[in-house]
A and B are shown apart, each in its own frame.
Chain A
Amino acid sequence: MAFYFVQFLTGLASAASLFLVASGLSIIFGVTRIVNFAHGAFYMLGAYVAFTLTERFSGALGFWAGIVLASLVVAVVGVLVEMVLLRRIYHAPELFQLLATFGLTLMVQDLVVMIWGPNDLLGRRAPGFKGAVEFFGQNIPTYDLFLIALSPIVLGLLWLLFQRTRWGVLVRAATQDRDMVAALGVNQKWLFTSVFALGVFLAALGGALQIPRDAVHHALDLRIIVDVFVVVVIGGLGSIIGAFVAAVLVSELNAFGILIFPKISIILVFLVMAVVLIVRPWGLFGKQEAAARRTPGLTVNPWRPLTSGERLAAWAGLAVAAMLPLVGGNYALTVGSEIAIFVIFAASLHFLMSVGGLASFGHAAYFGLGAYGIAFLAKMAGLPMIVCLLLGPLLGCLGAAIFGFFAVQLSGVYFAMLTLAFAQIVWSVAFQWVAVTGGDNGILGLWPEKWAAGPASFYWLSIGVAALAVAALRIIVFSPFGYALRATRDSLLRSEAIGIDAKRIQWTAFVIAGSVAGIAGALFAYLKGSVFPDSLGISLSVDALVMVLLGGVETVSGAVIGAIVYKMLSIWLVSQTDLSKLVLGGVIVLIVVAFPKGIVGMFETLRNRRRPELPKPALLKSRIEGAE
């Protein structure tokens, strides 16, 4: 019995840091609607800066002063980021801020190695909390007790801040309805900045408080960020008490999960998140979102099919691409094939995200399932390549059909998080179920058959399939189904009122997108000759998001251009420098600031500017209606 009690306390201690970081993320999201991907980076910076300061200042006072000072220093960094970067892009399409903070995260990962070196650092133990107290034969670290006491105190302080100060009242009001606060004449700029500073401070404090029990290293950010998203979503976005309860829930699940299911503790958390979201679509303490800006963006340029001239240009582009084998060597061709495959992948996500307004954070799941489909068919059933290519993507299709059914019941960030949860579940299975999937070591020996083995043949196969896939998706975009899908994105209320079953349309779109992603994954397996759990992982999902946003989420062909540019850039950078993350992150941030509509979006704006303006009627822009 004492054991279970101590295990419970241990879970509570783990919950403390999670709560600090998650509450920060939740507050930031609640007010600014920014999905701050860089929150993990601030957590990590908190740990690094605290390490430096606590090594510098001696004594107990030095330690605690170091922790608090470190959090303040990082909060200042956060303020700078908000003022220099985020302020410029609040009006960009939603999720664009995610792209910016993602770029920032990449940069920070390389920067901390440059500043603090590559080795794991061991921080000081907290003075006065070095040992453990005995409890019926069980040892409880005193630092755990400190953390257990800390999180309710922080929760209480935050409560006072939000309930008892004018600033807090404004923040709460802004969480409810941003436009209203703006209308009240509150200086929104500084409200956002201060909220961001508080959120970053909490993240950094969470990181700083880990140094007595953890190692400080450059992968801390990724380790925490997904968990924090999970906590925030389970608790309900914008709810601090929700973040607290969810942090405790997740940590206790971990603490007791390892006793019952030692091998699947990682899946357990995502399973719980999936169940919570299915049962309570806005998290435990969340409220249905008030009319927020619609995902992804609002364009006033209606989409139109290609004109005959543009169609000709597309054919010409394809013809030029098809001639690469005449000038390029094997390497150019394999890189070309890889780019073509990512064009397919990005186009499939674009279909879901831009056309359907459903931003999936776990689209790699279907890419990877397609790849594993090939692996199973080719290695276990020994089927010929052409059959594998036709059947392999069905696994992606099947996965999308099952997960999509649940995912489309939600919208916005909750949809994104549920797709992320599903992708993580699939990834964990592939990573940990070694007997079937080969685990981390993957499945090898999936090379194409003779007819497609040469780099040129495979390249032609890839661009051929890519052209077909992109053309097919384009046809669907302008088909009645595509319009119905856009209708559900533009106005659920109106689409329902003209007889459109939004969920079924969205589900179908999800399955189409998943299947096309599966096709990309299938080709990818043959290109690489092997399949690894990476091809289901978060970083690939994020890559796809970046491609779509980079190209321009409000455009029809953005994904194609975004995929080509991003993939070329990243392959080139990885080949040329060890600091590819720093450079790539910097480029992403620059693009976000310079071209908030993405590359294609920028060109369209330029083109429209050159056109003579239509005389516009006195504008009274329709208010965008929210979810019912």
Chain B
Amino acid sequence: MRRRYLLGAGLAVMVAGMAHSAFAQSGEIKIGEINSYSLLPAFTEPYRKGWQLALEEVNAAGGINGKKLVVVSKDDSGKPADATTAANELVSSEKVVMLTGTFLSNIGLAVSDFANQKKVFFLAAEPLTDAITWSKGNRYTFRLRPSNYMQAAMLAEAAAKLPAKRWATVAPNYEYGQSAVAVFKKLMSEKRPDIQWVDEQWPPFGKLDAGPVVQAIAAANPEAILNVTFGADLVKFVREGNTRGLFKNRSVVSFLTGEPEYLDPLKEETPEGWIVTGYPWYDIKTPEHDKFIKAYQAKFNDYPRLGSIVGYQTIKAAAAILAKANSDDPEKLIAAAEGLSMPSPFGEITFRKIDHQSTLGAYVGKTAVKDGKGIMVNSVYRKGSDYLPSDAEVSKMRPKD
């Protein structure tokens, strides 16, 4: 749980932070966790529940080689600069042995760079950007969730089978949207040299003006649309698209839309037949997942979102790495993590040695409406390991340590 000190403001707080760690019990292993709890509560609440469940399970099973695992969690208020302050507090004052968490790509990158500089082990949970493991990757940083590239590859595989030749794209105009579109286009053009890109819409992130955008896409008359918008932008886009008949007789391929975080708000207005990546928790019938979902529902009386899986697996992975390394030396942690395989609610995953990316995959399926709610149907799990570029390509992208 979050620690609260009953102290006044000011210097006393910082000094006390250090005094506290000096008295840290030797029977504990502390890890630091940072996420955008105040900015993105819709995503980080299920995530927090996930890691709380994992923490409970780890400690119930005897902790890390007999030591109790403690998670010190901090909010980053959605700003990279605040995230580095939090990382600093965790490392310097709380003396955590590793950092975990983060949702937004820029915050993940900021903490990853911090970890590299301060030689701290960092397990990035949710950030999607390819840069964190490739172009800006470093030896201290590992990432759990399937990257932008992996999701694009999964979607492109399905999209290439569509007859559509005229494609339009709509994506929020920042690094995530731009790289998602770029990777998807590249992969599609390799598979289907015959397709044409007839329109691109780049609404500002969070400020999509749905009417004009939908209208402009419709005017280009594409046969298929790639959507990268999410959250409130997605809701507006879908509503306006439904009203104006944009999705009628058109295929839509959409990043992340099958994740409950994004799909649930659409309720009965969920468009049908979109090809999406996501997490159909209601539809997964594997023993690992059954076990997870039972425990989750028992503890929280709520259904899991994708964030729950990510939070859960982040702490499970951290525990596995710590147990194997049996040390708080970051070099030993890296050695332990590289190539480490472990079970997850989605089946076994491995942290690759070559780029520190986990092979956690995602489900690809189609959207549908059932009882006034959006769901994914015909979902298939795509293993992460099948959607990564060749080792040679990866080494070329990743800076040498």
A residues neighboring B (CB under 8 Å): 3, 6-7, 10-11, 13-14, 110, 113, 118-122, 130-132, 138-141, 143-144, 212-215, 217-220, 223, 227, 251, 254-256, 258-259, 262-263, 265-266, 324, 327-332, 334-335, 338, 428, 431-432, 434, 438-442, 444-445, 447, 455, 524, 528-530, 532, 534-535, 539, 568-569, 571-572, 574-581
Contacts and interface: CB of A to CB of B under 8 A. Distances in A.
B24 interface: no
B219 A3 contact: yes
B114 A575 contact: no
A122 B236 CA distance: 10
B216 A259 contact: yes
Given A3-B215, A132-B243, A132-B245, A528 B110 contact: yes
B81 interface: yes
A332 B110 contact: no
A210 to B, nearest CB: 9
B243 A334 contact: no
Q: Among B112, B136, B232, which residue has the most Cβ atoms of chain A within 10 A?
A: B232
Interface string B166-178: 0000000111101
Contact of B204 (A14, A217, A265, A532): A265
B106 interface: yes
Interface stretch (B62-70, B149-157, B185-193, B261-269): B261-269
A190 B190 CA distance: 69
Size class of the contact patch on chain B: 35 or more
A14 B211 contact: yes
B381 interface: no
Contacts of A139: 218, 243-245
A434 B175 contact: yes
B304 to A, nearest CB: 14
B239 interface: yes
Interface in B42-64: 42, 45
Given A438-B175, A532-B106, A215 B236 contact: yes
A7 B215 contact: yes
B212 A14 contact: yes
A574 B86 CA distance: 9
B89 A331 contact: yes
Contacts of A7: 212, 215-216
Interface in B157-214: 173-176, 178-179, 200-204, 206-207, 209-213
B194 to A, nearest CB: 24
A532 B212 contact: no
Which of B88, B176, B267, B269 has its CB near the most chain A CB atoms (within 10 A)? B88
A227 B394 CA distance: 43
Nearest to A132: B243
A440 B105 contact: yes
Contact of A120 (B77, B80, B209, B231): B231
B203 A141 contact: no
Interface stretch (B11-19, B316-324, B334-342): B11-19
B115 to A, nearest CB: 10
A530 B200 contact: no
Contact of A530 (B80, B88, B206): B80
B15 A327 contact: yes
A580 B113 contact: no
A258 B201 contact: yes
B57 to A, nearest CB: 24
Given A258-B213, A444-B136, A578-B2, 6 more contacts: A217-B231, A329-B92, A432-B173, A434-B178, A532-B81, A575-B86
A427 to B, nearest CB: 11
Contact of A10 (B75, B211, B232): B211
Nearest to A143: B243
B180 to A, nearest CB: 12
Contacts of B231: 120, 215, 217
Contact of B85 (A251, A259, A571): A571
13 contacts: A118-B41, A139-B243, A217-B232, A227-B207, A324-B11, A328-B15, A439-B175, A440-B175, A444-B109, A530-B80, A532-B81, A534-B79, A534-B80
Contact of B174 (A432, A444, A539): A432
Contacts of B236: 213-215
A contact patch SS: helix
B3 to A, nearest CB: 8
B369 interface: no
Given A7-B216, A442-B110, A529 B117 contact: yes
B109 A442 contact: yes
Contacts of A256: 212
Contacts of A568: 9-10
B272 interface: no
Nearest to A445: B113
Interface in B125-152: 129, 131, 136
A141 to B, nearest CB: 4
A136 to B, nearest CB: 12
Contact of B203 (A14, A214, A258): A258
A578 B178 CA distance: 31
Contacts of A254: 209, 212
B93 interface: yes
A265 B211 contact: no
B81 A122 contact: no
Contact of A255 (B85, B212, B244): B212
B74 interface: yes
B207 A266 contact: yes
A5 B2 CA distance: 56
Contacts of B45: 118
A621 B244 CA distance: 64
B167 to A, nearest CB: 15
Nearest to B246: A139
Given A534-B79, A534-B80, A580-B38, A262 B200 contact: yes
Most buried by B among A110, A324, A532: A532
Nearest to A338: B85
Given A213-B210, A332-B14, A532-B80, A122 B235 contact: yes
Contacts of A121: 265
A258 B212 contact: yes
Nearest to B127: A441
Nearest to A447: B117
B81 to A, nearest CB: 5
A434 B240 CA distance: 29
B5 interface: yes
